Structures are given as C-alpha cells and as structure tokens.
Amino acid sequence: MRNATLLLIITGLMSAFSCGKKARSIDQMVSARDINGLSMVIEAGSESTDRRVAASHALVQLDLANRVMGSIEKLGPRDPEAAKALVARLSTELVAQLTDDSPKSVMARDALITLVPRMTPESAKAVAEGVLKWTVADMDKRADCGNFKLLKILEELGPSASDETLAELSRKHTAWMLADFKARGDDGTMVWKRANPEAAQIKATVHKDTYLRYWKHFRKDVLDGVVAAYDVTAPADRQVQDIAIIVDYAEGEERPKAGAVLLEQMKSKQKATGMSVRALGQLGTVGAVDYLRNWMKPGIPDDLRDAAFAAVTVLQKDPAAAAALYEIAKPLFEAMLRKDLPEENQLKLALKAIESLKFSRRCELPDGEYKLVRDLFKMKMDGTLFEVRKGMMIPLQRLMLCTGKSAALREIQATLRFPMKPEELGNVVAVLDSLPEADLLPILRKDLASKKVELATMAVMGLGAFGQKEDLALLEGMKASPTPIPEWNKTLGELAAEAATLLKTKYPTTN
C-alpha cells in the first residue's frame, strides 16, 4: 500500500512538472545549433508569428535560408495565413538589416532572394528596391558576395524592380565590370546573349523579359563607357575587346559618333591598327575616307592596307568612298586603253579598288569620267586584257551608270544578246541601282513593250527588283505574254508573275 501511494505521488509530480514545462527559447536552440528545433518552430501550427520570425532570423544568420524556405513551404498548406504573415514580416525586417557589408547583411540579402517566390507583388517590389539599392551602394564589395551573384539577383528581382532602379544598377554594374574586364567581362556577354537569344543563337530563358529591360540601360552604359575610355595605344587585347564592344553595341546614330571618337584618336596619336581602321568603315564614320586614303597606298603594311580597303568598301553611303576607289583604279583603266597594264604594285591596288567598286554605293563622280569608262567597256580586247576586263565588268557597268546615267544604260543594253543564262542577265540587272530611280524606272516601264526580248526581259526583272507600288499593275498585265525567253524554258508572262511576287514583298497588299 505504501509503495502504491509513493508511485501515485511521483506520477502526479511528473505530470505537474510536465504540464508546466516552458518551451525552449530561440536563443537556447541557437546556442545548441538545434536546426531541426528551429525549423519545427516555423512549421508548428501552435507557434506565434513572433516565434516563427525569431526562428527564421536565427536560421538566416546560420546561413540556412533554404531551411527557412523549406519550413515555410510545409507551413503554407497547413496555415496559409500564418505563412503569408511570416513572409511579410521577414521581407520587411530582412531589408532593414541591409545596412553594411557585414555577414549579417549579406545573409539577409541571400534570404530575401531565396524567399522571393513566396512574396506578394508588393513585398517583392519593396525587396527588389531595397536589395538593388543596397547592392549599387558598394558594387565592389556586394556584387559578388554571398550565395548569389549579380546576374542571379537581377533574374530574381528584376521583374519587380522599377525602371529607375534598373538604370541605377546598370550604371554601377557597367563601371564595376569595366574596371576589371578580364575578371568580370563575362557579365556583358551573358546580358547580351540573354537579352538577344535569337541573335546569340541560344535558347531563350524564362528571364528573357528581365534581361531585355535591363539591356535597354546596360547596352548604352557599356557603350558610352568603352567609347570614353578608348585608347588606340592600348595593348592589342584591349583594342580587340573595346572595338568589338563598340561595333556590337552601337546602334543607329551612335555608330558614326563612336567612329568619330576612334578617328580622332588615330589622328591625334598618329597611330592606327588594322582593327581600328576597319572599324571606321563598320561604324559608318563620317569623313573617314580622307584619312583612310593614307593607308591605301604602296608601302603600307598589308594588314593596315587591307583594313583600309575593307573600311572604304563598306562606306557605301559616302560618295567620297567611290571617288577614292575610282582614283586608285583609274590608272589601270588608262593603261588598258593603251593596251597595257601598270606595274605590279599599282596593279594589285587597282584590282582591290575595282573589287570594292562592284558593290552598290552612292557615287558622284564627274560626268567627264564617262568617256573613259565607256571606251574601256566597249573597246575590243583579247588575251590578258580581255580576261582582266571580264573580271571587272560589274564595276565598269556601275561606273558607267554613275557617270553616264540614262545614256550609259542604253550602251549597256546594246551589248545584251540572247542566248544568255538567267544569272548573266541577273548580274546586269543588279547594277541598275547605281542609276537614280528617276532615270531608271521610266526606261524600264517603256521597255516592257519592247520587241527586243532582251530589253523586255531586263525590264521585267528590273521592275521586280527596283519597281514601285504602281509597277505591280504593269507586271500583272504582263502575265499573259506568251513570248518565250530563249533557252530559259519560260515565257515573259511567267517571268512577270515571278517579278510581281517579288515586288509584293516590298509592297504587300491586303485583299
């Protein structure tokens, strides 16, 4: 009886102690590194928001934000309102911890990035503004710290950030990247690729829209920074880097402005590289031709001379380019009229110039040059001279149209004879854009009714390539023509149908 009574007393005391036992404090769990205990505080249905917040902060400072997220994911289905309240409190309080470069601030930043998927749009916007502004306040220490690098932070917070904050981030990001391009230059490549996945020939990511928004600021900031810092005397690898960025990033009127900076550098420092010279053409640099002439001469290193020719070749909107190329080619033309060829160095330069003259370009050569190129075009030749002229026929035709206008077109047409292959006539049609439309189109329209199949065929092809909207009706009217084109296995009507289809791509109509 005595033993039974003692047992009841002991049991009662244990029960009393058990009912009155206090829950372990968060500090005790932190001291004991009781990670599971801290997680259970977040997940338990009976805990208060204050306790959950305290446990979450403790896990964050142990660099265990993923455990916080995992516990919130478990709490959410059981008590959505509790999970929502916890995330809201954490979002506000963790942003408030972003005060310096201490580990506490960095881990708070990492936790915010981790928790973004659970935030409301309002909370996510506040977090994006807070984290990104904290980042730009000291890019050197904060861009690459913690568990998340800058581009990952941009991906997670960019959709919620304001355009003004993204612009501020871009300015600081650009300066940070360009300060150590060897270590950080991949950022620029990644932003460009992810903003332009089609051009980069990669698969678009789910963050494409964010990168596209960011690219609007980043592209211009990087371009301005590189142009401002450009130095033609810099080491070759730096030259390659800077010029590649300028050529790739510059758009519209930014291109000739950037080219003007390069040109001024080369003039003032009396130095040029093959890449910087070539870039003058790629950027459409206004006034570059006079400078480039200096490198298109005998005795110039091959890389510079070739770069100068390449630059002038693509400066197709500047009539000075055509004049410079013609000046180099002219001695060859004059020698051939004497049934001779210039010495080897001059011949090589002339052939380079003639090769560049085969491309469509703005041309304002004096009319007085027409006789020279026409005489060379018509002169009877054989042997080596014939072969040389055969290789320069397209440039010659362009120069004739440039200097002789409508009269030159009739001279060219007079040499056309069937049978000829479609590509042969196509080459002649291709040079017609060297003649102003006001001179060209009336002739082609008139020639549609020509009894000479060569002229009618050329007119159909020419209107298909260079015609205006009203010429669609003319080509449609030609579809019924049964006139055969010798050895082409088609009629003028069938060719007109093809030309009309081509012209419709330029002037689409709606039914």
Q: Which residues pair with 484 in a beta bridge?
A: 491
**In whole angstroms, how far apart are CA 159 and each of 56, 152, 434?**
26, 12, 50
Please tell me the distance from the alpha carbon of residue 88 to that of residue 91, in angstroms, as a whole number: 5
Phi, psi dihedrals of residue 120, rounded to the nearest 5°: -75, 160
Q: Which residues pair with 491 in a beta bridge?
A: 484
Residue 479: its pLDDT value, please? 95
Q: Which residues pair with 139 in a beta bridge?
A: none
Phi, psi dihedrals of residue 204, rounded to the nearest 5°: -65, 140
The answer to whether the CB of 351 falls within 8 A of the CB of 308 is no
In a domain, 195, yes or no: no
Please give the torsion angle defined by the CA atoms of residues 240, 244, 246 and 251, in that order, rounded to the nearest 10 degrees: 170
Q: Which structural domain, as residue segments, surrounds residue 446?
A: 416-511
Please count the structural domains in the chain.
Answer: 2
DSSP E strands: which ranges in 319-462? none
Nearest to 220 by CA among 191, 240, 197: 191
In a domain, 29, yes or no: yes
The answer to whether the CB of 122 falls within 8 A of the CB of 91 is no
In a domain, 251, yes or no: no
In a domain, 331, yes or no: no
Please tell me the distance from the alpha carbon of residue 398 to that of residue 195, in angstroms, as a whole number: 41
Residue 507: its pLDDT value, please? 87
In a domain, 312, yes or no: no
**In the Cβ-directed half-sphere of 12, how many Cα atoms lie within 13 Å?**
6
| Coarse DSSP helix, strand, coil percentages of the chain, rounded to the nearest 5 percent | 75, 0, 25
Q: Report the run of H or E that residue 489 belongs to, with start and end.
A: none
490 by DSSP, 3-state: which? strand
Neighbours of 477 (CB within 10 A): 13
In a domain, 330, yes or no: no
| DSSP line for 387-412 | HHHHHTHHHHHHHHHHHHHHHHHHHH
Structure tokens at 393: 């026929």
**In the Cβ-directed half-sphere of 2, how many Cα atoms lie within 13 Å?**
0
In a domain, 102, yes or no: yes
Please tell me the distance from the alpha carbon of residue 321 to that of residue 409, in angstroms, as a whole number: 23
In angstroms, the first-to-last Cα distance of the chain is: 109
Task: Among 150, 166, 189, identify where a domain stops.
Answer: 150
The answer to whether the CB of 113 falls within 8 A of the CB of 153 is yes
The answer to whether the CB of 214 falls within 8 A of the CB of 166 is yes
Residue 15: its pLDDT value, please? 42
In a domain, 82, yes or no: yes
Residue 45: its pLDDT value, please? 84
The answer to whether the CB of 425 falls within 8 A of the CB of 461 is yes
Please tell me the distance from the alpha carbon of residue 333 to that of residue 354, in angstroms, as a whole number: 10
**In whole angstroms, how far apart are CA 467 and each of 397, 455, 463, 489, 502?**
20, 16, 4, 25, 10
Please give the torsion angle defined by the CA atoms of residues 331, 336, 338 and 344, in that order, rounded to the nearest 10 degrees: 60
Please tell me the distance from the alpha carbon of residue 161 to that of residue 126, in angstroms, as a whole number: 8
Burial environment of residue 181 by CB neighbours within 10 A (0 to 12, 13 to 18, 19 or more): middle
Task: Among 119, 150, 181, identify where a domain stops.
Answer: 150
Task: Among 150, 183, 214, identify where a domain stops.
Answer: 150
Number of residues that this document lists for the chain? 511
For the chain of 511 residues, list the mean pLDDT of each consecutive stretch of 10.
46 42 80 93 91 94 94 93 95 95 95 95 96 96 93 96 97 96 93 94 94 97 96 91 94 97 95 95 96 93 95 96 97 96 93 96 94 96 94 96 96 95 96 95 96 96 96 95 95 97 84 46
